[in-house]
Amino acid sequence: MIATYKVDGMTCGHCAHAVTEEVSAVPGVSDVQVTLEGGTMVVTSEQPIALPSIVGAVAEAGDYTVVPA
């Protein structure tokens, strides 16, 4: 399953790396691709991941907002 999200507030490579690390740690997530330019994140998983789990992981990474794209 592939889900795409819009992440606002990322300004540098460190931001993208932090978001990638936190979302990768969510149970069930098998891959995370974050693109700083445009603020997109593509999450791959076997089963759907609940939006609150993604939002919580992104919040752990920093002061960013995330919504389904």
What is the per-residue pLDDT across 14-65, written as a single tens digit (0 to 9) for each? 999 999 999 999 999 999 999 999 999 999 999 999 999 999 999 999 999 9
The pTM of the full predicted model, rounded to 2 decimals, is 0.95
Q: Are 42 and 33 in contact (CB under 8 A)?
A: yes
Domains of the chain and any CATH numbers: 2-68 (3.30.70.100)
Q: How confident is the model at residue 1 (pLDDT cuts 50, 70, 90)?
A: very high
Q: Taking Cα atoms as reference points, which of 66, 26, 63, 48 lies closest to residue 34? A: 66
